[in-house]
Amino acid sequence: MILKLCLPGLMILFLLCSVATSMDQSAADSKPGCRDNQSDGHGPEKLWFYNIPVLNISVLEGLMVVSIITAYDCYNQSGAYVKETNLSINLGQGPYTFSDTQNMFTAIGCDTLGFVGETQGTYGAACISSCDEMLHEQHTNVSYFNPCGYAFLADKRTFKASDWQLSGLPDGNASDAVIEWVVETKSCEKAGMNTSSYACRNNTNCNYSENGQGYRCSCKDGFTGNPYLSPGCQDIDECADRQRYPCKGKCKNTPGNYTCSCPLGMHGDGKTGCQGFGIATIASGKFARTL
């Protein structure tokens, strides 16, 4: 089996031949007039990226998990083709790329060779599953338990090869894959010069994507919310959440942070613990005594 995968800005082409929806809350918000979902009229509303189903969007990570059909070819016991699917996906020239850190290129099947490359021929990689001997029998000896070979991109965080069913013919097989996105394919400095189109709102940072193709926005430390929607990220009240932001003394919220002072008579860092003895006042009648 040979698989060929092409990625032009990013086009993916799967060819084979012989030899598993959620969204973070900040993504659920949308600007006025912007549709954030679609419905086919036969079920719950769905998110789509072109014609690709979207399973999850992370505003914080700049990632989108999508479901893509797997490429495959199948043979009968005599070695003749019985079923095949070649798949191409074009992400266009916009700010979208298949993640080279979250995805793994996968080929499954007996004596299967997978190859990935872009259409201009400037990039290529391959993986292979092989037996002890080099045989070109097109599944004739294994068709009873492995009639098909498969190739696809898979989200390495969730993909389990042990869950893949080798027996039987494929029926709408799909895999999760990760797409990275950026706001624009510009540097933070250049994008920030145009305040009308710059996407990062108040209390945010401008960050570069892992592949260096553009910028994304994130909340500064101590702030939360959607960095793309006005008015921007909001201050976290750390004093209201002692579980995540410990304080053994007097807590005071500050923009992007908080302070924690030890009680009177004690010393140390109130966030980690205070030492010494606190001062208590006992009053009885006209007399008061400090301990």
Q: pLDDT category, 95, cuts 50, 70, 90? A: confident
Least confident of 22-26, 255-259, 268-272: 22-26
Number of neighbours of residue 199 by Cβ within 10 angstroms:
17
What is the predicted pLDDT for the residue at 279?
58
What is the predicted pLDDT for the residue at 131?
62
Q: pLDDT category, 172, cuts 50, 70, 90? A: confident
How many angstroms separate the Cα of 265 from the Cα of each of 224, 231, 290?
Answer: 35, 42, 11
Residue 17 has pLDDT above 50, yes or no: no
Residue 289 has pLDDT above 50, yes or no: no
> Which residue blocks in 142-261 are alpha helix, DSSP H?
188-192
Number of neighbours of residue 125 by Cβ within 10 angstroms:
11
More confident position, 234 or 161: 234
247-255: average pLDDT? 93
More confident position, 253 or 209: 253
What is the predicted pLDDT for the residue at 288?
46
What is the predicted pLDDT for the residue at 204?
96
* Interatomic CA distance for residues 166 and 105, integer angstroms: 18
**Bridge partner list, 37:** none
Beta strand 11-17 pairing with 22-23: unpaired
Number of neighbours of residue 143 by Cβ within 10 angstroms:
20
What is the predicted pLDDT for the residue at 14?
39
Which of 6-10, 17-21, 54-58 is predicted most confidently?
54-58
Phi, psi of 152 (to 5 degrees): -170, 165
Q: pLDDT category, 179, cuts 50, 70, 90? A: very high
What percentage of the chain exceeds 70 in pLDDT? 68
Question: Cis bond leading into 170, ω under 30°?
Answer: no
Q: Would you say the pTM of this structure is higher than 0.85?
A: no
